Chain A
Amino acid sequence: MSDPERTARVKKFRRLPIDGQSLKRLIEAGLIWLRTNQEIVNSLNVFPVPDGDTGTNMTLTMQAAWNEVKDSGVRNLGEMAALISKGALMGARGNSGVITSQILRGFSRSVNDKATLDVETLVKAFGEARDTAYKGVVRPVEGTILTVIKEVAIATEAALGPVKDPIEMLEVAVKAADEAVKKTPDLLPVLKQAGVVDSGGKGLFFILEGMLRHVYGDSLETPTMSLQPMSAMNLQGALEEVEEGQDYEIVVDFVPLGELDLGSFYGRLEEMGTSIQVGEGEGMYRMHIHVPTEKRYEPIDYIMGIGTVTKVAIENLLAQMEEIQKSAQIKFATVEPGNIAVVVVSPGQGLSKIFASLGVAAVVAGGQSMNPSTQDILNSFENLPTDKVIILPNNKNIILAANQAKEVTVKKVFVVPTRTVPQGLTAMLALLPDGDLEAVAEKMIKAMSAVKTGEITIATRTVEIDGVSVKDGQVIALLDGKLALAAESVEQGVMDLLEKADAGGYELITLFYGAGMAHAEANRIKDVIRGKYSNLEIEVQEGGQPHYQFIISIE
């Protein structure tokens, strides 16, 4: 729609009274625009695979409101609003849907005795909508759709006076909603953590914006294109959603020759690739896209045609991904002040990751033939924001150093004397971070004996211990720290060890394979075990420990 056409249309809206039928059209527009952007709202979820998507719930609620009035010829504003409210109330789905229905209910109550909508009525109705929405929830939470309707009510109340007609006031409302949505992460920490704005609030924004777009005569069928501040572009996150066949990441900085038409810009980019993001800052634009190898120059050529390119970056995504995976940072548990922190000694990167995933606060590298010092252990927990510490040495040769660390620190430390990695892992399962330090340590000590440990390594000299004679270079197996047998191959060592441990009487075997072993070989041995012990669960994990082909937990 051209600018003069739009102006004429808005003028016409301003001239005509807003009655029941006009309200009905506005509700329809709100519904259509929300439905068009439903997936955007659904995607704003804190949890990756959520239950009961907000966009869907709100759309269904608005749909129910619309169904109630779509065939109605009522001209009176109050009567129409009452019908809309009733439809929404009875069809409300999910939390945000229920609150939406309350907003419509408050609105409807406020305009109950009005035949048409003037600016004072509209502002009063936003206020009543807010009050009803807050009363409708058992425990109101800020940073949600409630905050958005509240900000709309406040902004429109403040604008009353200078703003003299309902259309202009709707513009105020949409702007206030937009700003309120952007602020939701500051009010609700879970939103900030997840890096999203509130979904219900965004849904309400789309409903209001849809109404305004209807007034402007803008399309309601094409979803919103997002243009974000350049600083907010999440290019790291985009890496996590690389799709097959999209091998190159292209980032182009440019200054458009004229006004950038976002619609056609996105349209053209969508023909080339995925993960499109466009950011803007100080007149400059940044475009990000993932494309297949053969199209890697297309976005650059295209943008050169519509503006001045200032910078281009082309990255091979596959190579980049590999790099990231290799250097993957281990994410340790965050220790709340006053809670229990567990530090462990871990002989391999894979095991460290597993320990971290179970809630360990810090890892000291070490194990067989690389025992950490008392100082190393001390350093690992001295800076943690708590004075309650549990140390899991996971090796009999490290227990002493751990005990010494306990002696020299002012923190309250318990050493749970785990002698093997599987004992350490089992002990970790008993951790309650906010529990009583001594009680938790006791639970861990009890828990660690529930598991048997097998270890497979290569003999470094010829010797006879415990009646087992071993030649230098032979595979040997240890059961709970004692030499159990010698074998000619790793596979034979594993199988003989399991037999000696009466594995058939247990439920679960976990194989942690060492640095010198390929994942495929570990899986092959898993299949051999499964062939013999079909009733057992068998899990293979990368341990990454040196010297030991396998560390095995049997439980």
Chain B
Amino acid sequence: MKLGIVTDSTSDLPATLVEEHNIQVVPTILILDGKEYLDGIGITREDFYTRLPSLHSPPTTAAPSIRDFTTPYETLFSQGCDHIISIHAASQLTTIINVAYQAAQEFPGKVTCVDSGSLSLGLGFQVLAAAEAAGTAHVGELGLKSALDAIESTRKRLQLSAVLDTMEYLKRSGRVPGAVAALGGLLSIKPMIALVDGEVKAIGAVRTTKQADERILKILLEMGELQRLAILHTNTEPRARNLLNEMMSQAAQSVPTDILFVNVTAVIGAHLGPNGLGFAAVRKTPS
């Protein structure tokens, strides 16, 4: 059985990995001052984050259409795939998975949709795990099962956490529980959040950038030995580099060899704001 893998652009997978594993990535949509952009096309992430604080109206995002999914499905089937795993951003945060699910119904029994319960490389790492399992040439139903198992195993060992520069964007996104949105109504704070099974959880707050950097490092160190690591940021690369340097000097043995640095996609960043720092990490062993 030849297995095809489809995801969406909120997975933040670098182009090299996408090519290497022949992953089909469906772009999501960013709407900026009334103009629609396909994620990653027409505006750079740096440019977006620089403009973000001074935009007239807050940017919004939109899910792709059903056709945007049926096209890559058809492409993979025409390339000889027998089955497709279509794995997407958390259903609690976007409707992307529902659209994929609709598109999948055009190919009964041939597309398995998976709700990753995560975002950015939290999703991306699950996609990679599936692609790697699919690439190891299992035959028959076994191929699909081993890929789904790989996704499940990755999800169990995954942690996605970040500290944001301000509550403002998250609050405006309408995608966090009231208890999180209510935090720090008067005092300016930098919220620390984690994405757990598709839900944004508050894990504390700090008031300065230095405190933010120290806390995110501490959370990362507490994870122990890592199989995969992506340092995620919204346009604050020097702090991201610094986080990795600190990590290397304090716990080099925990760090995997390939580390991704990702300036997070504007489609997610629109809801986080600039100067956010975080990570997606997969433990070697279940906690």
Q: What residues on A are CB-neighbors of B97 within 8 Å?
A: 138
Q: What residues on A are CB-neighbors of B115 within 8 Å?
A: 138
Among candidates A98, A139, A425, A541, residue contacting B102 with C-beta atoms closer than 8 Å: A98
Query: A450–B174 contact, CB under 8 A?
Result: no
Q: How far is the CB of B63 from chain A (nearest CB, A)?
A: 7
- Residues of chain B touching chain A, judged by Cβ–Cβ distance below 8 Å, are 58, 60-63, 65-67, 91, 95, 97-99, 101-102, 105, 113, 115, 172-175, 178-179, 181-189, 202-211, 271
Query: A51–B189 contact, CB under 8 A?
Result: no
Query: B60–A51 contact, CB under 8 A?
Result: yes
Query: B102–A92 contact, CB under 8 A?
Result: yes
Is residue A159 contacting chain B, with contact meaning CB distance below 8 A? no
Among candidates A49, A98, A102, A541, residue contacting B172 with C-beta atoms closer than 8 Å: A49
Query: A357–B91 contact, CB under 8 A?
Result: no
Q: How far is the CB of A286 from chain B (nearest CB, A)?
A: 31
Which A residue sits closest to B177, measured CB to CB?
A: A190
Is residue A157 contacting chain B, with contact meaning CB distance below 8 A? no
Is residue A426 contacting chain B, with contact meaning CB distance below 8 A? yes
Q: What residues on A are CB-neighbors of B63 within 8 Å?
A: 93-94
Among candidates A90, A136, A357, residue contacting B187 with C-beta atoms closer than 8 Å: A357
Given the contacts A354-B186, A357-B186, A539-B188, A92 and B61 also touching, CB distance less than 8 Å? no
Is residue A407 contacting chain B, with contact meaning CB distance below 8 A? no
* Separation of A443 and B205 alpha carbons in the complex (Å): 12
* Separation of A184 and B104 alpha carbons in the complex (Å): 30
Q: How far is the CB of A178 from chain B (nearest CB, A)?
A: 26
**What is the interface size of chain A, counting residues whose CB is below 8 A from a CB of the partner?**
46
Instruction: Name A91-113 residues within 8 Å CB distance of B.
Output: 91-95, 98, 101-102
Query: B208–A508 contact, CB under 8 A?
Result: yes
Among candidates B99, B174, B188, B210, residue contacting A51 with C-beta atoms closer than 8 Å: B174
Is residue A264 contacting chain B, with contact meaning CB distance below 8 A? no
9 A-B residue pairs with CB within 8 Å:
A51-B60, A90-B65, A92-B66, A139-B91, A357-B186, A358-B189, A432-B203, A537-B208, A541-B186
Among candidates B61, B189, B271, residue contacting A429 with C-beta atoms closer than 8 Å: B189
Q: What residues on A are CB-neighbors of B113 within 8 Å?
A: 138
Is residue A317 contacting chain B, with contact meaning CB distance below 8 A? no
Query: B210–A90 contact, CB under 8 A?
Result: no
* Separation of A508 and B206 alpha carbons in the complex (Å): 11
Query: B210–A507 contact, CB under 8 A?
Result: yes
* Separation of A508 and B212 alpha carbons in the complex (Å): 13
* Separation of A136 and B99 alpha carbons in the complex (Å): 9
Given the contacts A49-B58, A357-B185, A101 and B205 also touching, CB distance less than 8 Å? no
Query: B271–A51 contact, CB under 8 A?
Result: yes
* Separation of A443 and B218 alpha carbons in the complex (Å): 13
Among candidates A51, A138, A433, A507, residue contacting B61 with C-beta atoms closer than 8 Å: A51
Which A residue sits closest to B173, measured CB to CB?
A: A51
Query: B187–A539 contact, CB under 8 A?
Result: yes
* Separation of A9 and B196 alpha carbons in the complex (Å): 57
* Separation of A48 and B173 alpha carbons in the complex (Å): 9
Given the contacts A432-B204, A508-B207, A425 and B98 also touching, CB distance less than 8 Å? no
- The interface bits of chain A over 43-70 (1 if a CB of B lies within 8 angstroms of the residue's CB, else 0) are 0011111111000000000000000000
Among candidates B61, B178, B187, B189, residue contacting A193 with C-beta atoms closer than 8 Å: B178
Among A47, A139, A353, A555, the one with the most B-chain Cβ atoms within 10 Å of its Cβ is A47
Is residue A430 contacting chain B, with contact meaning CB distance below 8 A? yes
Query: A90–B66 contact, CB under 8 A?
Result: yes
Q: What residues on A are CB-neighbors of B174 within 8 Å?
A: 45-51
Which B residue sits closest to A536, measured CB to CB?
A: B208
- Residues of chain A touching chain B, judged by Cβ–Cβ distance below 8 Å, are 45-52, 89-95, 98, 101-102, 136-139, 193, 333, 353-354, 357-359, 425-426, 429-433, 443, 450, 506-508, 510, 537, 539, 541, 555
Q: How far is the CB of B87 from chain A (nearest CB, A)?
A: 13
Q: What residues on B are CB-neighbors of A48 within 8 Å?
A: 174
Further pairs besides A49-B174, A90-B65: 18, Cβ < 8 Å: A51-B174, A51-B175, A92-B99, A93-B62, A93-B65, A101-B102, A102-B102, A136-B98, A136-B101, A137-B98, A333-B182, A358-B184, A425-B187, A430-B204, A432-B203, A443-B204, A450-B211, A506-B208
Which B residue sits closest to A132, measured CB to CB?
A: B105
Q: What residues on A are CB-neighbors of B95 within 8 Å?
A: 94-95, 98
Given the contacts A45-B174, A52-B62, A357 and B184 also touching, CB distance less than 8 Å? yes
Query: B182–A357 contact, CB under 8 A?
Result: yes
Q: What residues on B are CB-neighbors of A101 within 8 Å?
A: 102
* Separation of A52 and B99 alpha carbons in the complex (Å): 15
Given the contacts A51-B173, A358-B183, A541-B186, A429 and B102 also touching, CB distance less than 8 Å? no
Q: What residues on A are CB-neighbors of B205 within 8 Å?
A: 429
Q: How far is the CB of A394 from chain B (nearest CB, A)?
A: 15
* Separation of A196 and B235 alpha carbons in the complex (Å): 37
Q: How far is the CB of A424 from chain B (nearest CB, A)?
A: 12
Q: What residues on B are CB-neighbors of A92 within 8 Å?
A: 65-66, 99, 102
* Separation of A94 and B183 alpha carbons in the complex (Å): 28
Q: What residues on A are CB-neighbors of B60 within 8 Å?
A: 51-52
Q: What residues on B are CB-neighbors of A52 within 8 Å?
A: 60-62
Q: How far is the CB of A62 from chain B (nearest CB, A)?
A: 15
Query: A90–B67 contact, CB under 8 A?
Result: yes
Query: A353–B98 contact, CB under 8 A?
Result: no
* Separation of A98 and B186 alpha carbons in the complex (Å): 38
Q: What residues on B are CB-neighbors of A89 within 8 Å?
A: 66, 102
* Separation of A93 and B64 alpha carbons in the complex (Å): 8
4 tightest Cβ-Cβ pairs between the two chains A and B = A47-B174, A357-B185, A507-B208, A429-B205
Q: What residues on B are CB-neighbors of A510 within 8 Å?
A: 187, 207
Q: What residues on B are CB-neighbors of A102 within 8 Å?
A: 102
Q: How far is the CB of B212 from chain A (nearest CB, A)?
A: 10
Query: B99–A98 contact, CB under 8 A?
Result: yes
Q: How far is the CB of A349 from chain B (nearest CB, A)?
A: 12
Q: How far is the CB of A442 from chain B (nearest CB, A)?
A: 13
Given the contacts A52-B60, A94-B95, A139-B91, A429 and B204 also touching, CB distance less than 8 Å? yes
* Separation of A555 and B188 alpha carbons in the complex (Å): 13
Among B66, B91, B102, the one with the most A-chain Cβ atoms within 10 Å of its Cβ is B102
Q: What residues on A are CB-neighbors of B172 within 8 Å?
A: 49, 51
Q: What residues on A are CB-neighbors of B98 within 8 Å?
A: 95, 98, 136-138
Query: A507–B187 contact, CB under 8 A?
Result: no
Which A residue sits closest to B212, measured CB to CB?
A: A507
Q: What residues on A are CB-neighbors of B66 within 8 Å?
A: 89-90, 92
* Separation of A357 and B184 alpha carbons in the complex (Å): 5
* Separation of A425 and B188 alpha carbons in the complex (Å): 12
* Separation of A103 and B33 alpha carbons in the complex (Å): 32
Q: What residues on A are CB-neighbors of B91 within 8 Å?
A: 138-139
Q: What residues on B are CB-neighbors of A98 within 8 Å?
A: 95, 98-99, 102
Q: How far is the CB of B126 from chain A (nearest CB, A)?
A: 16
